[in-house]
Structure 1
Amino acid sequence: MRFNSLSNSNTPPSEPDETLTLGGGNSPISVTPDYTSLLSDQILTIILSNLTKCQQISSCLVCKRWSRINGGLVKSLRLLDWEFLDSGRLALRFPNLIDVDIVQACIISPRNSGICFSNKFVSIHVNSFISNNGFIWKPDFLGTRLVDRGVQILAQGCPNLRKLVLLGASKEGLLSIANECLALQELELCSCTDLDLKGLAGFRNLQILKLIGSVNGLYDSVISDIGLTILAQACPRLLKLELVGCEGSYDGIKAIGQCCQMMEELTLCDHRLEGGWLAALSYCTNLKTLKFQSCKSIDPNPGPNEHLGSCPTLEELHLERCQLRDKQGLGALFSVCKAVRELVFEDCWGLDNNSFSAASICRRVMSLSLEGCSLLTMDGFDPVVLSWKELKRLKVVSCNNIKDSAMSPEVATLFSLLKELKWRPDSKSILSSGLEGTGVWQKGGRSFKI
């Protein structure tokens, strides 16, 4: 093969004269010159960065140069093949990564299976849900040493990481990340033990931490008060903390409140905390947002209200997909959060008139959102909402037992004073037809959505 040099040609680029001669034949084949070679890497990077993700993937196949430049544009990646990381190719192919998730690659599963096991964390291909002893199948994970080695390779190859999601890493693996990735701000840990959390002490700029303890159907990992205390002492600069499937009690939450004094947001998902832990929330002196997600109970034994304390800086309280049948625990929560400004209930079971009435202790509520609360009626809704003199925003969606026909004149008057209203309790609501043509939700200082 022989290429004529473009630099030796007197013909302008619009009239290419490059030829390719194959096998010593006399019939040359015309070859179009690569005009992109005249562009610098910086200019080509700007051009490729404006492509869509699908277009960027296709452009990787053009040539090695385009593949290299496209690799430098990739900032976020979810790893599926562990060998790609272990061989060192990941850091060479994508040197500028700032967000990496390696959880999927740490789970050993067949690639060609047609059965997929999914939950909110991962999707795994399996051969069968039933194991030899008749119990539901659970996946196998890579060994801790192998995970730690891969994590070390990742840290050395991608020192600019800002966010990382890990599964099965030990104290040594976490320390290797802390030593290399000084800019890391967000970390998510799955399947780790109390003592593994000692590796968090090396992180200097960690601000967001998600700790996933036990996950039904996936793995059983215990995070207790020991781990929560280690976490609190290792991460005093935390701003956001999410605990999923974690055990513990008053002592663990108290340690977090005392040590993490900058923490503004706390999320508890499917928690297994012992009774009496609610009183420890008063130690979170700067807490602004508190979220409960998929919790079977709030606090089975909160104790007397005079010992609970309160969170004076709290602004938002979210309850999503929680069981609220325990009236005592819910009442204790409202007592601790009585300074809250925004209340959100989403698809919560057991929220009836009696339990919702306990929210009247929160005198400063400015925004209320109710969605999927089918047990609540106007008899319980009216007195609580009317007691909130500062209420400005209201959202009621898919609450089938709240009827327009049972609306009192006082509530109707309140609606006219709100800054924002979204009223769709059921498909038969007639309030929308009553406001049709008025334009009250389209212009002016108030926003109404029906």
Structure 2
Amino acid sequence: MEDFTYFLPISSRMDVYCQPSKRVRTNFRIPFDRNDFEEEGKNPSIDDLPDECLFEIFKRLQSGKSRSSCACVSKRWLMLLSSIRRDNEDRGDQELENNGYLTRHLEGKKATDIRLAAIAIGSINHGGLGKLSVKGMNSICRVTNVGLTSIAYGCSTLRALSLWNIASISDEGLLEIAKECHLLEKFDICQCPLISNRALIAIAEGCSNLTVLSIESCPNIGNEGLQAIGRSCPKLESISIKDCSLIGDCGVSSLISSACSSLHKVKLQALNITDFSLAVIGHYGKVLTHLTLCSLKNVSEKGFWVMGNAQALKLLISLTITSCQGVTDVSLGAIGNGCKSLKQMCFRKCSFISDDGLQAFSKATRTLEVLQLDDCNRITISGIIGSLTNHESNLKSLVLVKCSGIKDTTLQSPLLSCGSSLRWLSIRNCTGFGAASLALVGRLCPQLQHLDLVGLYSLTDAVLLPLLESCEGLVKVNLSGCLNLTDESIHTLARLHGATLQLVNLDGCRKITDQSLVAIADNLLVLNELDVSNCAVSDCGLIALSLARHTNLLILSLAGCCGITSRSLPSLERLGKTLVGLNLKGCNSISSSSIEVLVENLWRCDILL
């Protein structure tokens, strides 16, 4: 192995670490003492060179294929190759050849510096890395600044970077990203406690193409970082900030006022901001289309009132407000007056709004298409009917969740035309919503396509049947948790809407038996998803379902159906010709041997056991 020395760089390539005093001869030899290697029981190898020499060799590799081949030799070579910073010319060539086609996602134990280095080296010849997501677990995550530096040096085409739950990375890794990845457009960090304003300022100054920024639970990021983003990122379109204790009015207001010409989406949650920030949003949010405000404890009624009356939110189409005690009837009316283009409105856990505020809002905003009320306990059926009346011609979706203030009443609502636009009705866990309430809302439903009645224990056949008869063509029906419904309702549903129904969910309807499955098999022509989990169905009903002439089922859930036994194996195999998903959890009457046969025969179907 004396010829081993020919692997080393010759001539001018040797002047990296020591300048030769005269021209190097081509027959130059580096003497090796063969006895040294023989004593250790090994032959001389290129891997015996120190890192400095290997680094200089690898730096001169011209093709990405050569670098990838060398990276496969060992982890040591991989990490050395990934630590080589590409010069400007090389990075320019990479951006011309690669458009960032590749997307990579690392999670948990798979998130390591070694894998990031491999991604950095391997993506060069395959379109370039465009999106990278790393979701670690702080206790075992092995991603450090070394891994991020590898990505920075090898992936100048990176356009989206997401880092979640990683306690071992700090500003240094992101500083390298900012220096090398100037095409970055989307930056998302969550639960990264060592990242500070220093990194965010570097990202702002180095990545002026940034359009989407999301920061969550990063305790060392404050106002200075947001101010830098506002100054240096003129293309910013979306900002989401959650649970960052150092961020206050100074940072939020500065960012929004600086990016007012491009900012379309804003989400602020659990921040120490006051009425001042909402006033700035109301004044500068001229191009805002989506606004989400959550858990803003220091914002009062005045802040929401000023935001609405500032009259700048004329392009706003979606507004979500959650757990904000400053939302009252007065501020709600002001929001309605200032947001004339609003189409989607969602209130969650807003305990100070009542029917008066809802009706004032509805009268002011006549373009509303989607209304969702979640855990708003001062809203009654009177407010719901009033809101629906004001939006009869344009409201398409009404969602009510855990609104305990809605009780059955003898209220007589004004008659509404049969041309009501409502397509989606969802009433979930509103325990007071009974026969009278449903009858009132049912007058709005001749064109209803999606019916979602979940957890309504008082719902009976007598209450549901009139609603089913008033609708023209239901497409999706979810009645899960409606314990008092029987086969009569399902018979009527199948008979009236069999030609259009695509989804039926009866999970937990304990009085539903095989008769319902027979009705479904005979009438539902285009059904592709059926859930009869925890119902009183048995093998007989499943046999009838499998013998249906028009079987297009894609997803079938039988979880918790103890009446399904191994006798249903042939029926499940027939249904399996079209199934892509089958849920058999809790079907304890099916033997393990039958399950094995089923898994083997339905290899195309995802079976949950």
- What is the TM-score normalised by the length of structure 1? 0.71
Alignment pair present for 1:344 and 2:487? no
Structure 2 counterpart of 1:293: 401
Query: How far apart, CA to CA, are the structure 2 residues paired with 1:393 and 1:258?
Result: 36
In structure 1, how many angstroms separate the alpha carbons of the residues matched to 2:15 and 2:265? 51
Corresponding residue SS for 2:363: helix
Say which SS state the counterpart of residue 322 (structure 1) adopts. coil
Contact 1:394–1:422 at 8 Å: present in 2 too?
A: yes
1:202 aligns with 2:312: yes
**Which amino acid in the other structure matches residue 177 of structure 1?**
I
| Structural mapping, 1:318-337, within 5 Å | 318-337=426-445
**Which residue, out of 296, 317, 323, partners 2:425?**
317
Distance across 1 between alignment mates of 2:289 and 2:144: 28
Residue aligning to 1:61: 149
Residue 331 of structure 2 is matched in structure 1 by 227
Aligned partner of 2:347 in structure 1 is: 243
Compared CA separation, residues 88 and 408, structure 1 to 2 (3 A): closer
**Separation in structure 1 between the aligned mates of residue 521 and residue 283 of structure 2, nearest angstrom:** 61
Cα 1:88–1:291 shift into 2, 3 Å? same
Deviations along 1:252-297, one digit per CA (max 9) or x if unpaired, are: 3333333322221111111221452123111113111111123225
1:7-406 equivalent positions in 2, closer than 5 A: 18-19=16-17, 29-30=52-53, 31-32=55-56, 33=59, 34-38=85-89, 39-40=91-92, 43=95, 46-47=99-100, 49-54=129-134, 60-62=148-150, 64-68=175-179, 69=181, 72-74=185-187, 75-81=212-218, 83-88=220-225, 91-92=228-229, 95=233, 97-106=236-245, 147-156=248-257, 158-159=259-260, 160-167=262-269, 169-180=273-284, 182-190=286-294, 191=296, 192-197=299-304, 198-200=306-308, 201-213=311-323, 221=325, 223-246=327-350, 247-271=352-376, 272-274=378-380, 276-280=382-386, 281-284=388-391, 285-299=393-407, 301=409, 303-306=411-414, 312-360=420-468, 362-367=470-475, 368-383=477-492, 385-388=494-497, 391-406=500-515
The one-letter amino acid of 1:151's match is V
**Deviations 1:362-405 (CA, angstroms, capped at 9, x unpaired):** 32242222233333221343345535576433412413424333
Deviations 1:203-262 (A, max 9, x none): 242111002245xxxxxx153321221111010111111011234444433333333222
Q: Report SS of the residue matched to 1:273.
A: coil
Alpha-carbon spacing, 1:409–1:400, altered in 2? closer, same or farther (3 Å): closer
> For 1:28 and 1:61, how far apart are their aligned partners in 2?
18
CA displacement at 1:407 relative to structure 2: 3.5
Are the counterparts in 2 of residues 279 and 307 from structure 1 also a CA contact under 8 Å? no
Greater relative contact order structure (CA < 8 Å, 6+ sep): 1
Spell out, residue by residue over 1:164-199, the C-alpha distance to the aligned partner (whole angstroms, 9 max, x if none).
Answer: 222564443123235555432211123343332221
Q: Determine the C-alpha separation between the residues in 1 that align with 2:410 and 2:14.
A: 82
Q: What secondary structure does 2:366 align onto?
A: coil
**Post-superposition offset of 1:338:** 4.2
Specify the SS of the correspondent of 2:267.
strand
- Aligned-residue Cα RMSD (Å) equals 4.1
Q: Structure 1 residues 295 and 432, CA, compared in 2 at 3 Å: closer, same or farther?
A: same
Unaligned runs of 5+ residues in structure 2 are: 1-9, 20-49, 60-84, 101-127, 136-142, 153-174, 188-211, 555-577, 583-609
| 2-structure distance, mates of 1:387, 1:278 | 28
Structure 1: which 5+ runs fail to align? 1-9, 22-26, 107-141, 215-220
Per the alignment, in what secondary structure is the counterpart of residue 268 of structure 2?
Answer: strand
Q: Which amino acid aligns with 1:52?
A: L
Identity across matched positions, percent: 16
Cα displacement string for residues 302-345 of structure 1 (whole angstroms, at most 9, x for unaligned residues)? 61144677871111112234325533223222223344222122
Give secondary structure in 2 for the equivalent of 1:254.
Answer: helix
Residue range with higher mean Cα deviation, 271-280 or 417-426: 417-426
CA distance in 1, matches of 2:353, 2:512: 42
TM-aligned CA distance change 1:35 to 1:250, over 3 Å: closer
Distance 1:83 1:407 in 2: 58
SS at match of 1:268: strand
User: Residues of 2 paired with 1:251 and 1:309: CA distance?
Assistant: 24
Q: When the two structures are superposed, what TM-score results if normalisation uses the length of structure 2?
A: 0.54
1: CA distance, partners of 2:468 / 2:52: 84
- Conservation of the 8 A alpha-carbon contact between 2:517 and 2:542: no
Greater Cα radius of gyration, structure 1 or 2: 2
Preserved contact between residue 267 and residue 293 of structure 2 (Cα < 8 Å) = yes
Q: In terms of mean alpha carbon deviation, does 349-358 or 432-441 score higher?
A: 432-441
Query: 1:275–1:209: structure 2 CA closer, same or farther, 3 Å change rule?
Result: same
SS at 1:392's partner residue? Answer: coil
**Post-superposition CA distance 1:57-111 (Å, at most 9, x none):** 96543464533427644224133246513123674599465433333124xxxxx
Deviations 1:391-430 (A, max 9, x none): 4334124134243333396654323x34545242436443
Report the AA paired with residue 373 of structure 2: L
Distance, in Å, in 2 between the alignment partners of 1:49 and 1:207 is 34
Larger helix proportion of the pair: 2
CA distance in 2 between counterparts of 1:151 and 1:40 reads 36
